[in-house]
Structure 1
Amino acid sequence: MQSRLYFSRLGEPFLHKTLLISRPRSFRPFKLRHVPTNTLRQSHSSRPRIANSDFAEPSCTRKVRMPRQHYENVKSSRHATITPTEALATYLDIQDDSERSVFWKATRHKLRWDNLPTILLHYLHFSQLPEDHWDSHDKEAYRIASIALSDRGLSFTDVEDWATIVLEESADERVNVFLTTLTRYPSFLLLEICRTDVLQVGTLKKLLVHIWQRVLHKSSLGFDLTVNASGNPTAQGHSSLESSFGFSGSPIPLHDLEENAFSILIHRLLYQCRRIWPPAVVTVAHMIGPYIDTLPIACVDDVRTPRPAHYRRMCRLQNNLLQALALPAVYEPFESTIYSWSAQKVILALSSTFSPPLILDQPAYQAVVQVLAASKKSAFESRSATLRTRTWPPWRVEQDGMDAQRELEEDLSRSIAALMRKRESGYSDVSFDMIMSILGGQEPDGTPTIQTRAFVKNRPLVSYVMSQDPLNPSIWAARIEATRDVQEAWAAFTEHSEQGGKPSLIMYHAMFRKLVYERRRRSTGYVYNGAPGDGREVQPVIDDNISDFYRSRLRPPSYNELYENMLRQGLRPSGLCLNFLVRHAPSIREGIRYLHDSGLSAHALRYLHGGDTENAPSNEVKSMVSQDMMQVVEPWIIGGFVALLCRFAPRAVLVPKENMWERHRQPSSKSDKVWAVREVMKGRRQKDLQGQRPHPVFAQPLQHAAFLLEASKQKHRPAWHALWKALSQPNLVLIPKLSGNPKNVEIAWRVSAAALKEFHRIGLELDPLGFKHICETFTKYAKLFTKVSQRQEGNPPKASKIVQVLAASKVIKAEFKKLIVCNNPSPFHLPRFNHSIRGVHLHAYIRSIAAIDNYDEIIFALEWMVDNHVEFDAIAERNSREGRHLLLTLIAIRIAVEGTVFEGRAWSLVDSVVTWDGWPTDDEVAKYKMQYETDYVTEKLEQEEASKFKAEGDNRDVIFEGDIIDGAEPEQNDTKKETKAPYRFASRNLFNSG
C-alpha cells in the first residue's frame, strides 16, 4: 500500500489494473519522393533517427534502391499482397519512367482497379503514353476506373487534380495545393501528403487545422470548422465562435477514415511534429478523443461502456500512440520531453473515462517509462540524487532526523515507479526494463545507481531474446552511463570483461562519452552544480585516500588508448559511435581517421576533405561533389564532419612574442604581445617545422564546411547551426593573413548571410537556435562599425558602411517577424508559439538591434514580450534558466534605451508585468556590463586564451566552451550551470551562477 502513494505521481490511469497483452501493429511508411536522399528515413512510427537514441547501433550502410529486375518480386518475400496505398507510394518513389512502367505491370494484377489509389496510379502511368500504346489491361483498367469514379460522383478531372498534387516538387507545395484546390478529397491522398517531410511550421499548422476541420469536424466540436488562407481556424454553427473567426464554407469529406487509416494518419502527423514543431504533439494527442466519440459507445449513468470489438480497437489505438509519443524530437529532444509527457497524459486520461478503463500492454508501459527517463528530474528526484554517498554503490545519506524517518520507497524515481506498476500488472521484466531500471536509479537487485537522463530505443524482439543474458552489452552500457565520474564508469566497463563478457561497440560509445566530458572538465576548470545524472557532465574523481598504486589501477585509459583497444577487439566505429567520435575528435585528421576506420570509401573521403590529405583540394573533385556527393556519402556523416570542421575554426589570440612563430604573427598595439592564429600555432611543430604544408582544410575549415553544406544541400539543421555558431565566435579568423584585422568580422557576417540565403533556397525554415547565432554574428559586425566610428574621433563613418549595416539589420528583423507568429485561442489545442522562442533568443536579438540604436524595434519586441508574458512565465516555471535569460533581456533593453525618449515607455511596459519585478536595478546593469560588454569580454578572452595556450599547449576544448552537439546529445539539463531556484526576479541572484 505504501508504494501506491508514489505510483499516484504518474497519473490516475496508472492506478487501474491491466490484464491484457496485445501486440501493436507497426506502420512503415515508404521513403520520400522528390526529396534528396539525405532525408530517407526509417519508419515514422517505430524508429527514431540515427542521432536520437542511445544504446542503439544503427548501421552506416546505405540503403540501395531496388534494381529493375526485382520490381516484379516487390514484397513477395514478406507479403502475399500489396495494398493500393503502398503501391502508389512505391510508384512515386521511383524516379525513372521505364522502371515505373515495369513496376506497374508487375503489381497491377495484385490490385483492385476500382480502388482510388489504383486509379491514380494507373492515371500517372497511362497519362505519359499515347492511347495507341495502351495494352488490353490498360484499356480494361481505364473502363473500370471510369465506372468507379462515376459511382462516387467523381471524374478524371478530379484524378488529374490529385496527380497535380502528388507530383509537386516539395511537401509544402503539395499541402498548399491540396488545401486550396480541392473541395472533395479522398482519405488516401491525405495520407500520401503526410508521408513526405514538411519543412515549414506554417504548413504543418494548416495541415493540423485541416485534420480537425475535415476529419473530426462533427465528432465533438458541435460546429463545422474550416481554415482560411493564413491557416487560422474559422467556424460555423456556433454564434460566439462565428463572430470571432468568421466563416468560409463547410467542408465536404468524401468518406470517413477507418481505424487503420486514422492510426497511420496520427503516426505520420506525430512524425512531422517531432521534426519541426514538437509542442504540436499535444495537439495531435487531443485528436484521439473526438475520433473515439464517433464510435458507437453505450453510456449508462454517465459511464461509457464500449462494445467488445470497439473496446479492443480503442486499446490497440491507445497503446500504439503511447509508443509513438515515446520517440524523441529530431532537434533538442530533451527540451521537448515535456510535450511528449503532456501528450501521453492526454491519452492516459482518456483511457480512464471508460468502464472498464482501457488496458495498457507491456510496450505501452515501456513507452511511458521511456519518456519519464528522458524527462527533467523533479525537485524530489534531484534532491534524492544529491543525498548519495560518494563511494559505490551510492547508498542514501541521512542528514537529519527527517531523512532517517523516510521510507526507502521515497527515493524511487518516477521511471522506477512506472516499472513497478508494470510488474503489478503481470508483465515480467526483459532486457529493456533492466536498462530503464538502471538509468532510473536502481539495479534489478535493488542496488542504487545514479538516475541519468537518456533516450533509449525499444526493440521488443531483441529485448525478449536477450532478457536472460547477464552479459547483455546494452545493460552494461547503461551501467556505464549511470555513474558520476570516469573512475566509476571504467569500473563498470572492466567488470563486464572480468565476468567473461566481450565489450561491444555500444559499451565503447558510452565510455567515450565519459572520457570526452572528463577532458572538457579538466581543460576548462568547469564546476558542475547540477544534480548527478542531469547531464553528460562528470564530477571530479574522489581518490584522496587511495595510494598511488591503486590510483593507477583505477585510472581509465586515455581517449586514444581506448580507441586503439577497440580496434584491437575487432570493432570498427559505426552508427552512433562513429557520429560521436567524429564530432568530438581531438583534431580534423583524427576525425578523418575515424571515418577511414569505419570503412568509408576513399572516394567518399575525398569528397569530405577536398582531395588528398597532403595536397591542395582538386578542382575536379570539387566539381564532382555538387553532382553526386549525396549518392556516395551519408547525410549524417556530412553533418558530423561539418560540425568537426566548425569546432576547429581558427581564432586570433594575443600571445607573448617569445611563444609566437615568426611566419604567422601580426603587429599589435601591445609591445609585448602579437596576434596569432591559434590553430596554426598548434600545428606548427607537427607539419610546418618539418617543411610540409598543412592541408588546406585545416587552414580554412569554415570555408570548406560552407562548401559541403551548399554542395550536399544538407537539410539536417544542426549542421547549419554548427556553421553559424562558429561564425559568431569572438576573434574568428576566416583569412589567416588578416589575423587580428576587423575585416574578418565583416567577412563572417557575409558568410552567415550567404549561408542563410542558401538555407532558405533549399526550403528550410530558420529556427530560434539558428536565429540566435546569426544575431550574435550581426552584433559583432554592428559593434565593430560603431567601434571604428568612435576611433575616428568624431569623424562620421562612410555612408556606404552605414548602408551596409542597415541593410544587414533588415535580415534579422525579417527573421524575427517570422519567429514570433502566435496562434489565437481555438478549439484545436494549437501551441501558442509557432516556434519555441525563449529568453535566450530574445536576449541575442535585443543586443543585435541595440547595436544599431533601433529603438522602435526594441519597443516592438518588448511589447510582444508583454503580450505573451503568461507563456514565458509558464516556461520559466519548467526551466530554471528561463528566468535568468528574461532578466538579461530586460537589462539589455534598459541599457539600450537609457537616456532616450523611449526609456519611459519601456519602463512602463516592464512594470506592467508583476512577475518581472520591475525595472532592472543599477547593480544589475553594472554586473551585466562587466559580463557582456564587448571590450571587457574581448580583453578577458585574450588574456585567458594566451594563458591557456602557454600552460596547456594543444588543447581543443578551451577554444569552444562546448562542442557542436545536435539533438542526439543532451548537452546539459536545466541545472547545468546554476542551482535550481524558483522563477521570481525578486531574488536577483543570477549573475553569481553559471
Structure 2
Amino acid sequence: MDEDKGYEFGASRASQLLHRMYEAGYSGRLWEDVAQVYAGWDTDSSPTIQTRTSLPRISSQYRDAKHLRPLLWAGRIRTTRTRREAWACFLSHELSGEPAHPDIYLAMFEKLYHAEAERSNRTEFSSDAENTHEEDTTHMLPGDMKEAVPDPLSTLHYVYLSEPVPGYRGLLGRMQMAHVKPKRRLLAFLLETCPEFDTGLGLLDMARDIQHGRVGRMLDGIHDQYTSGNSIPGFLFKAIIDFLCRFGSIDQSSFYKVDFLPPEQHVRQLRSNRQYCVEYAYMLLKYYRPIYRPAWACMIKVLASQKGHKHVLSLARYKLICSIVEDMEEIDLDVDDEIFRLVCIATMYAAQAVERGSASFDDTRHVLSTASSRLRTLFNGLVGASADVQSPTDDQTANVISPHIPGPAELHAYVRGLGILRDYEGLYSFTTWFTKHYAEVTARAEAQRSGRHLLFKTLVALRLAVDGGGFERGNDHTSGAPEDIALLIKTQIESVEQWGGWPAKEYVDMYAKGHLKSAPPVVGGR
C-alpha cells in the first residue's frame, strides 16, 4: 500500500529546506547528506526515522570528509526504529570496507543501552469517541525518544541479520578487536553506562593516551603542571566524576582532610576501597575546579542520596555540600535547577537529623542559623529575584530580563526545605514570588510529564508547612505559622483561580502519609 508513495509524502521541514537549496543551485556535499539522513531520507532515497539531533561544527569542505563519513553511518544507525535495524546498519558499515570509528560505535552503544519502549496498546485507527478526550502521555513515535521500538510482532517484517544483535559486553569486545580506542564522547558515554567498575577502569586504561596523556595521569593519580582539569573536555571530566561516584560508597562521616595519595598507594586504594573512589572524585573537583557545572552536580547528587546510609551522616554530607557550593561560588559558577533541588533535599535531611536529636550542639546551631538563609539566597540567585524587585513601567518593559522559572520538582523541594526549618517568613516570600509569576509557573509545569501533579504537591506541601505538620512525624500541629502570615499565604494562593485555591485537608493528610502519589488529583482539585 506504500509503494506509490514518494518523497513528497513524508518530507519533513528540514528535508524541504535542503531541497529548496538544491533547487536554487546549491550542490550538496557530505554535511548535507548527514542532515538529510536525520531529516528523514537516506542517500539512496530510502526513508529513515526523522530524528532531532545537534550536528557538530564541521564544514562541508572536502578536507572534512574523513570526519563526516563516520557521522553519516552513525546517523543511519540512530535513525532506525529497532535494535535489529540499527545492527543491520552497523553490519552494512563493516561490509562497506570503511574503517571503524568511535562515532559509529557510540551510535550503536546508545541503541543497546537505552531500554526498549513498551508496546502501545492504543488502537491506531480507532473511531471510539470516548477516547478522544483522554490524554495519552505514554504514546510516542520513533525519533521522539531515545528508547528503541520493540521488534515487529510478525517475523515477516524482520530485517535480515547475518549475526544476532550483541549485548553491551559483546559490542565492547568487538570494538577492542577492531582496535578502536574510546575517546571523547564515546569514552564519556561508556564511563557513564558501564555495568562494572573493572570495566570502567579498563576503558580509562585504554584511553590513557588521549588528551595528551592527561586521562592516564589522572587515572594513575599524578597531578602536576602537565595536568589541568580544564584541558579535558567538561563532559569527559564529568563522566569520570560520575563513574567514580556511581561505584563508590560513603561509609565514614566526613573526608574534609583527604589529600592526594602517592601514585602507588593511589592505584591500590582505587581498586580496593570504594570509599576512596568518592574521596578521589571530591579531590579532583576541589583541585581542578572545572567550569562544567554537571561535574559538580554528580558529586552533590551522591552526597545528597540517603539510600542505604545512616541518618547520622546527614549533617556531615550537608556540610560537604555547602563546602562544594562555596567552591562553585568562588569560580563564579551559579547553581542550576538540579543542584538547587539537591541542596534543598540535603538541607531537609540535615534538619530531620536535628529534629531527631542525633546532631551535636554545634551542628544543630549551624543548621538552624544558616540553612534557611542559604536556601533563600540560592533561590533568589536562581530565579533572578534581585532583578525583579520592582514592577517595570510600560517604557521599561522592553529592557526587563524575564525571571528564570524552576521546575515543579525544584519548587516542591524548596517548600519542603523551608517547611521543615519552620521558616514561615521565607515561605511567605516564596508565595509572593510564586503567585506573581503564576502564569509562567503553570506553563512550566504543564510542559513536562507529571508537572501538574508536582505543582499540586507543592501547594499541598505549602499548606502542610503552614499548618505546622512535620514531614516525618505526620500531622503534628503543635506549632505552625503565625496567624497573620498563614492568612497572607492562604489569601495569595486563593487569588490564583486556576490553581483551585487552598488545598483541602484530606489532601494534606494523604500527603503526610505518603499516599498522595497513589491518587493524584489534577491541579486545582479540591
Query: What TM-score bracket applies, with the shorter chain setting the length?
Result: 0.7 to 0.9
Alignment of 1:157-196 (within 5 A): none
Q: What residue is the counterpart of 2:332 in the other structure?
A: 763
> How far apart, CA to CA, are the structure 2 residues paired with 1:600 and 1:839?
44
Q: What residue is the counterpart of 2:488 in the other structure?
A: 905
Per the normalisation by structure 2, the TM-score is 0.75
SS in 1 for 2:42: coil
> How far apart, CA to CA, are the structure 1 residues paired with 2:116 and 2:273?
25
Q: What residue is the counterpart of 2:149 in the other structure?
A: 539
> How far apart, CA to CA, are the structure 2 residues paired with 1:532 and 1:923?
41
Q: What residue is the counterpart of 1:831 in the other structure?
A: 401
Are 1:640 and 2:203 counterparts? no
Candidates 429, 435, 438, aligned match of 1:860: 429
CA 513–463 in structure 1, closer or farther in 2 if over 3 Å, else same: farther
Q: Is the 8 A contact 1:486 1:518 kept in 2?
A: no
State the AA in 1 paired with 2:86.
A
CA 760–697 in structure 1, closer or farther in 2 if over 3 Å, else same: farther
Question: 1:507 Cα deviation (Å)?
Answer: 0.7
> How far apart, CA to CA, are the structure 2 residues paired with 1:928 and 1:453?
39
Alignment of 1:540-559 (within 5 A): 540-542=150-152, 545=155, 555-559=164-168
Q: What residue is the counterpart of 1:735 in the other structure?
A: none
> How far apart, CA to CA, are the structure 2 residues paired with 1:533 and 1:987?
35
State the AA in 2 paired with 1:504.
H
Query: Any stretches of 5+ residues in structure 1 without a counterpart?
Result: 1-388, 390-394, 397-405, 522-526, 612-620, 653-691, 733-739, 938-983, 989-994
SS in 1 for 2:114: helix
Q: What residue is the counterpart of 1:991 in the other structure?
A: none
Structure 1 vs Structure 2 CA RMSD: 4.1
CA 632–805 in structure 1, closer or farther in 2 if over 3 Å, else same: closer
CA 755–840 in structure 1, closer or farther in 2 if over 3 Å, else same: same
Query: Any stretches of 5+ residues in structure 2 without a counterpart?
Result: 119-136, 252-267, 469-479
> How far apart, CA to CA, are the structure 2 residues paired with 1:746 and 1:450?
50
Question: 1:896 Cα deviation (Å)?
Answer: 1.8
> How far apart, CA to CA, are the structure 2 residues paired with 1:634 and 1:851?
41
Structure with the bigger RCO (C-alpha within 8 Å, sep 6+) is 1
Q: Is the 8 A contact 1:578 1:594 kept in 2?
A: yes
CA 853–875 in structure 1, closer or farther in 2 if over 3 Å, else same: same
Candidates 553, 576, 582, aligned match of 2:191: 582
State the AA in 2 paired with 1:583.
E
> How far apart, CA to CA, are the structure 2 residues paired with 1:587 and 1:462?
41
Question: 1:861 Cα deviation (Å)?
Answer: 0.7
Candidates 193, 203, 210, aligned match of 1:594: 203
CA 436–519 in structure 1, closer or farther in 2 if over 3 Å, else same: same
Are 1:440 and 2:24 counterparts? no
Alignment of 1:514-529 (within 5 A): 514-518=111-115, 529=139
Are 1:781 and 2:390 counterparts? no
> How far apart, CA to CA, are the structure 2 residues paired with 1:432 and 1:487?
26
> Alpha-carbon deviations, 1:556-592, whole Å to 9, x = none?
2122221222222232122221222223222333223
Are 1:844 and 2:406 counterparts? no
CA 481–632 in structure 1, closer or farther in 2 if over 3 Å, else same: closer
Q: Is the 8 A contact 2:494 2:502 kept in 1?
A: yes
CA 458–709 in structure 1, closer or farther in 2 if over 3 Å, else same: closer
Q: Is the 8 A contact 1:439 1:478 kept in 2?
A: yes
CA 414–519 in structure 1, closer or farther in 2 if over 3 Å, else same: closer
> How far apart, CA to CA, are the structure 2 residues paired with 1:798 and 1:631?
37
CA 802–444 in structure 1, closer or farther in 2 if over 3 Å, else same: same
> How far apart, CA to CA, are the structure 2 residues paired with 1:540 and 1:746?
46
> Alpha-carbon deviations, 1:8-29, whole Å to 9, x = none?
xxxxxxxxxxxxxxxxxxxxxx
Candidates 464, 471, 477, aligned match of 2:74: 477
State the AA in 1 paired with 2:523.
F
Candidates 474, 496, 504, aligned match of 2:101: 504
Q: What residue is the counterpart of 1:727 in the other structure?
A: 303
CA 444–907 in structure 1, closer or farther in 2 if over 3 Å, else same: farther
Candidates 420, 434, 437, aligned match of 2:19: 420
Are 1:869 and 2:468 counterparts? no
Q: What residue is the counterpart of 2:380 in the other structure?
A: 817
CA 481–930 in structure 1, closer or farther in 2 if over 3 Å, else same: farther
Candidates 300, 309, 314, aligned match of 1:745: 314
SS in 1 for 2:202: helix
> How far apart, CA to CA, are the structure 2 residues paired with 1:443 and 1:483?
11
CA 813–453 in structure 1, closer or farther in 2 if over 3 Å, else same: same
Q: What residue is the counterpart of 1:487 in the other structure?
A: 84
Q: How many residues align?
A: 466
> How far apart, CA to CA, are the structure 2 residues paired with 1:494 and 1:609?
34
Alignment of 1:345-744 (within 5 A): 411-462=10-61, 466=65, 472-518=69-115, 529-542=139-152, 545=155, 555-600=164-209, 604=214, 607-609=217-219, 611=221, 625=223, 629-630=227-228, 634-636=232-234, 637-650=236-249, 695-696=271-272, 698-731=274-307, 740-744=309-313
Question: 1:640 Cα deviation (Å)?
Answer: 2.2
State the AA in 2 paired with 1:908.
T
Are 1:915 and 2:513 counterparts? no
CA 607–452 in structure 1, closer or farther in 2 if over 3 Å, else same: same
Per the normalisation by structure 1, the TM-score is 0.42
SS in 2 for 1:699: helix
> Alpha-carbon deviations, 1:446-484, whole Å to 9, x = none?
5332222211124223479749x9x93322211111123
Q: Radius of gyration: which is bigger?
A: 1
CA 420–552 in structure 1, closer or farther in 2 if over 3 Å, else same: closer
> How far apart, CA to CA, are the structure 2 residues paired with 1:551 and 1:750?
57
Question: 1:920 Cα deviation (Å)?
Answer: 3.4
Question: 1:925 Cα deviation (Å)?
Answer: 4.6
> How far apart, CA to CA, are the structure 2 residues paired with 1:603 and 1:502?
24
> How far apart, CA to CA, are the structure 1 residues paired with 2:93 and 2:155?
26
> How far apart, CA to CA, are the structure 1 residues paired with 2:511 and 2:6?
45
> How far apart, CA to CA, are the structure 1 residues paired with 2:38 and 2:514?
37
> How far apart, CA to CA, are the structure 2 residues paired with 1:829 and 1:463?
45
Q: Is the 8 A contact 2:372 2:423 kept in 1?
A: no
State the AA in 2 paired with 1:913.
V
Question: 1:706 Cα deviation (Å)?
Answer: 1.0
Question: 1:642 Cα deviation (Å)?
Answer: 0.9
Q: Percent identity, aligned pairs only?
A: 24
SS in 1 for 2:490: helix
SS in 1 for 2:150: coil
Q: Is the 8 A contact 2:117 2:150 kept in 1?
A: no
Alignment of 1:872-883 (within 5 A): 872-876=441-445, 878-879=447-448, 882-883=451-452
Q: Is the 8 A contact 2:102 2:186 kept in 1?
A: yes
> Alpha-carbon deviations, 1:94-123, whole Å to 9, x = none?
xxxxxxxxxxxxxxxxxxxxxxxxxxxxxx
> How far apart, CA to CA, are the structure 1 residues paired with 2:508 and 2:82?
38
> Alpha-carbon deviations, 1:470-521, whole Å to 9, x = none?
x933222111111233222112211222344443221111111122213999
> Alpha-carbon deviations, 1:135-155, whole Å to 9, x = none?
xxxxxxxxxxxxxxxxxxxxx
Question: 1:413 Cα deviation (Å)?
Answer: 3.2
